[in-house]
Amino acid sequence: SQTIHQWPATLVQPVGSPLSLECTVEGTSNPNLYWYRQAAGRGLQLLFYSVGIGQISSEVPQNLSASRPQDRQFILSSKKLLLSDSGFYLCAWSSGTNNEQFFGPGTRLTVL
Amino acid sequence: GENVEQHPSTLSVQEGDSAVIKCTYSDSASNYFPWYKQELGKRPQLIIDIRSNVGEKKDQRIAVTLNKTAKHFSLHITETQPEDSAVYFCAASINNAGNMLTFGGGTRLMVKP
């Protein structure tokens, strides 16, 4: 069966510091991968998605970037965090042939 | 692009009553409509979905209906229990290369014992 991992689970960072969040999927190949952000008490905002290695599409312009160095690895990065980057970051995957998306456990980021 | 509206934003029901959450979508090409349940501090969990070739789907106490003509779909929970309390999100998707989901704003369901 498929499993999706995210780390770290929680992170507290100062404003202006860099960020790297990692997501990996097991048990499937060539998945579609997605990064979402959820502000406290709010809905899900799609940040990036990827249909293959090295292929990244950005949905919202911001100071974040994403990379997919391996088939089942998706990384979210920032060079300088802003206070507004605080939130719950969720990675998700789908098979590419099926619309069903499954979420990872998330990373709770607090920028101080 | 697709726009999904979800109502109500909050819903309070008595244990044992039914709950209904409604969503409308804008893009007639959308053909996949999932519902997610998110408990406090946890990840969204897919609880039921429906595709455009079906008008209704049921799984125990949960059912989803789809009206393609009116472009709306609804989640029905019968015999609600306190553990049904959570935020529920609807979404819509077109079956394309990215299979991206557009989410509604969420409904906070509170089931009072």
- Which pLDDT tens digit goes with each residue over B4-47? 999 999 999 999 999 999 999 999 999 999 999 999 999 999 99
Asked if A13 is an interface residue toward chain B (Cβ–Cβ < 8 A), one would say no
Does A105 contact B at CB distance below 8 Å? Answer: yes
Q: CB distance B45–A103 less than 8 Å?
A: yes
Where are the strands (E) in chain B, listed by range?
A: 4-7, 10-14, 19-25, 32-38, 45-51, 56-59, 62-67, 72-77, 86-93, 101-103, 107-112
pLDDT of residue A61: 65
C-beta neighbour count of A52 within 10 angstroms? 14
**What pLDDT is stored for residue A86 in this prediction?**
95
Q: What is the pLDDT of residues B43-100, one digit of tens each?
A: 999 999 999 888 999 999 999 999 999 999 999 999 999 999 999 999 999 877 678 8
Rounded to whole angstroms, the Cα distance separating A87 from A65 reads 16
Given an 8 Å threshold on Cβ–Cβ distance, is B98 in contact with A49?
yes
Q: Which residue in the set B89, B93, B98 is minimally distant from A57, CB to CB? A: B98
pLDDT for the residue A40: 86
Mean pLDDT of A7-31: 96
Contact B101 A105 (CB under 8 A): no
Residues of chain A in contact with residue B7, where contact means CB-CB under 8 angstroms, are none
Return the residue in A3, A4, A32, A44 with the most chain B beta carbons within 10 A, the one to mutate for interface testing.
A44
